[in-house]
Chain A
Amino acid sequence: MSSDWISFDFGALIDSFWATTFDGLTLGAIYALVALGYTLVYGVLNLINFAHSEVFIAGAFAVVFFLSALGFGPSAPTLPIGMLILDLVLAGIIAMVVSGGTAVLVERIAYKPLRNRGASRLAFLISAIGMSFVLQYIFYEWRGATAEPAVTMFRPKPIFEVFGSIIDSQQLTIFIAAVVMMVCVDQIVQRTKLGRGIRAVAQDPDTATLMGVNKERIIVATFAIGGFLAGAAALFYVMRVPSGVFYMGGFILGIKAFTAAVLGGIGNVRGALLGGLLVGLIGNYGATILGDSQWTDVVIFIVLILVLMIRPNGILGSNLGEARV
């Protein structure tokens, strides 16, 4: 079989269906957190912030540096549970600040000047792609092409068994924390003054400003929220993929998160959650059937294209206010 360039092994998926599913949901939760950043910015500015993947990886670098400084290394530390939780929470906060700061910086440097000059949408797109490359190669020049040394936070322990498959502490932590954060964002968007401002600007920026909404402030807040979520995702990413932090790491994950946002319906907060989980599952199922994780992205994009043929605006629809509000 090894000479075949492609082979289908459905038996492998059947054998490990639930394990594949749980792992897919864990990865999907991470994608969803990053996807929210794309979707929020798109909702407010109609702009795909391609530099969001680098906003994410900046947070991942911060997590690795911080935990390394605390003495975390390739093997799991022997710390009292309280200490460990404190360290991880601190790492998460630092990552959120770094990613949030990067996101706001990108906005101020790459987009605000264009907005002030009334640039065309293409100019924003080019600027976004350019900003993504600039950050990528800053990381490259700074850290080289090799991945940062792995940082293991804790050894996953089995928590409980479902359908004969183990759900471990790592999967549970990531999934629950990510979903809680997404519910919080959904509530902020729906039930607070800031959320009303975001929705008002998303629906009609000119009218919003005439009703007293400070559009610039809403835009900065939107980038900051997207950055915070990317920072949280970075912590979970390092937890799940300890040796995945290098200059291209953001691009690889970002493209899946972007796919998730489009799949769910870009501009739609709940769509990002749904899209993220689906991309996580589809990628994992595909890789299991095809027996090689190199196929993961191929499968994800084939599904994306198929879904968009049937529902061009994504599963939940991309109308900014619509499913989101």
Chain B
Amino acid sequence: MNAEANLTEVAPEREIAVAEGDTLVKVKDLSVVFGGLTALDSVSFDIRRGEILGLIGPNGAGKTTCFNAMTGVYRPSQGSVTLEGNSLLGLKKHRITRLGLARTFQNIRLFGEMTALENVAVGLDARHKSGMISAMFRTPRHYREEKQIITRGMELLEFVGIADRAFDKSKDLPYGYQRRLEIARALATDPKLLCLDEPAAGFNPVEKEELMELIRTVRDEGYTVLIIEHDMKLVMGVTDRIVVLEFGKKIADAVPAAIREDPAVIAAYLGQEEPDGTA
């Protein structure tokens, strides 16, 4: 993969209001309650522009719940989520995506009957203006946009390394390709923050290594990344900073080296799987 050639191809296409290293997303006192069960208990953390932040914790710690509350899937019972200082709470899911929060799914959720390129095109559509009328009457703008979508879509597929199967239905793609396609589709929405929910699930060590490389490249292109991952080795290897959850509460927030030594984190993982194991 030629990183230098990619640089101009897939970098974010829009302005981001905060400077590199400043707080892009602020999660504050976020709580989610299901029935009587508190799944997320007053969790706060920042995501800084340009970093790869890991969100880890034992099973049931509330990682995916936190993700879902941020992307509008769940309605938090308290707290706030802001992107560039603007609140995301109460917004419709598609609005949140259009504002710049895109995600992938732990259990792959591609549009199986669409080709890889079409899947990416759905993401790209979120950023295009031309509406139903222009599509019906096939205006010049419609053609121009369709052309742009194909060009940009192919660039994104190339970037994640699956362009050779662009015209295959996504359900027919190999597993690794599907995971990469999810990343390409999320990038297509031109996110300010890319959220990856266990992107390496089901990968072998070689594939994991390649994925880490890809995630680093994504960051180098100028994206900010939030990653949920079980695999401690992968998390330690790729993140700039890690937030640890346990029983819905934040128990640590530090650089990987410090997390590794943190007694609370070690305790949380004790009796579970090895901290650097293959959970």
Contacts and interface: CB of A to CB of B under 8 A. Distances in A.
Contacts of B135: 188, 192-195
Given A193-B145, A194-B132, A209 B112 contact: no
A211 B142 CA distance: 20
A323 to B, nearest CB: 9
B114 A321 contact: yes
B91 to A, nearest CB: 11
A189 B131 CA distance: 14
B114 A200 contact: yes
A193 B98 contact: no
B122 A192 contact: no
B92 A196 contact: no
B130 A207 contact: no
B125 A325 contact: no
B147 interface: no
Contacts of B260: none
B189 A211 contact: yes
Nearest to B127: A212
A320 interface: yes
Interface in B139-156: 142, 145-146, 149
Contacts of B121: 193, 196
Main SS class of interface, A: helix
Contacts, number: 95
Interface string A266-298: 000000000000000000000000000000000
A101 to B, nearest CB: 15
B159 to A, nearest CB: 18
A31 to B, nearest CB: 23
Contacts of A208: 111, 122
A52 interface: no
B94 A199 contact: no
A122 B164 CA distance: 45
B108 to A, nearest CB: 10
A97 interface: no
Contact of B111 (A193, A200, A209, A215): A200
B123 A320 contact: no
Given A192-B135, A194-B132, A199-B114, A213 B125 contact: yes
B114 to A, nearest CB: 6
A215 B109 CA distance: 17
Contact of A211 (B128, B131, B149, B185): B185
A210 B103 contact: yes
12 contacts: A188-B135, A192-B136, A193-B121, A193-B142, A194-B131, A194-B132, A197-B122, A209-B93, A209-B94, A209-B97, A210-B103, A321-B114
Given A204-B109, A211-B94, 12 more contacts: A192-B135, A193-B128, A196-B122, A199-B113, A199-B118, A200-B111, A200-B114, A210-B71, A212-B97, A212-B126, A213-B94, A325-B114
